[in-house]
Chain A
Amino acid sequence: QVTLRESGPALVKPTQTLTLTCTFSGFSLSTSGMCVSWIRQPPGKALEWLARTDWDDDTYYNTSLKTRLTISKDTSKNQVVLTMTNMDPVDTATYYCTRHYSGSSPYFASWGQGTLVTVSS
């Protein structure tokens, strides 16, 4: 059974750096074709894909946020970490981590419950 759980601060101040951790079980990120992505959703708004890390150490970023994002993985701990710098109130959102497979148009079958991050002074 695949499970993912997001953890991190519920509240961050503007200009601070956000660090979120995705702890997962039921699969290994060292398995060929395996990937983990972060997706966020501002309250009442649409989903937005943020970043992805693959089994082969490749990483991909949303081009509009690329300068602020870093995704990394610790295969031994079954964790993926997302950092986002220079947080702003518009970054207030529920952040999800998802497991998926590589491919030309990957889809997200397994999701964590999400963690709400509020950016406010």
Chain B
Amino acid sequence: QSLLTQPPSVSGAPGQRVTISCTGSSSNIGAGYEVHWYQQLPGRAPKLLIYGNNNRPSGVPDRFSGSKSGTSASLAIAGLQAEDESDYYCQSYDSSLSGSVFGGGTKLTVL
């Protein structure tokens, strides 16, 4: 059972906007620890998508954005493209575990 809860799956049509939620608690997101997001294509290592709640590494399209409020965070993908079909993971730090924690992952299907 992950300390960060994500919906198992989301879907959207090309061009649409989808959001993926990540719900934590007072020992991680709610404690003020930053949230980061990763994209993982099948058979590949995860790729950093968003860091520090809402920052994009160089090369990540601005269609991807992150936000955080209270004990939750969200990843938004605008102008959905077929190539966005992938697994997405949120990650933060948990003070009770004194270590990094990941969400259970969300599979995005582009219809």
Question: Could you tell me if A60 and B99 are in contact, using CB atoms closer than 8 angstroms?
Answer: yes
B92: chain A residues at CB < 8 Å are: 105
The residue of chain A having its C-beta at the shortest distance from the C-beta of B6 within the complex is: A46
What number of A-B contacts does a CB cutoff of 8 Å give?
A: 63
In whole angstroms, what is the CA distance A111 to B40 when docked? Answer: 12
Query: How big is the B interface, by class?
Result: 20 to 34
**Residues A63 and B97 in contact in the complex (CB < 8 Å), given A46-B89, A49-B102, A107-B52:** yes
Residue from B45, B46, B48, B93 within 8 A of A105 (CB atoms): B93
Please report whether the interface of chain A is mostly helix, strand, loop or mixed according to DSSP: loop
A10: chain B residues at CB < 8 Å are: none
A52: chain B residues at CB < 8 Å are: 99-100
Residue from A61, A107, A111 within 8 A of B36 (CB atoms): A107
Residue from A37, A62, A63, A114 within 8 A of B45 (CB atoms): A114
Question: Could you tell me if A107 and B98 are in contact, using CB atoms closer than 8 angstroms?
Answer: no
**Residues A111 and B91 in contact in the complex (CB < 8 Å), given A46-B102, A49-B102:** no
Q: Which residue numbers of B lie inside 8 Å of A, CB to CB?
A: 2, 33-36, 38, 45-48, 51-52, 57, 89, 91-93, 97-105
Q: A47-B38, A104-B33, A105-B34 provided; 6 other pairs, C-beta below 8 A? A: A46-B104, A46-B105, A60-B99, A62-B97, A108-B36, A111-B45
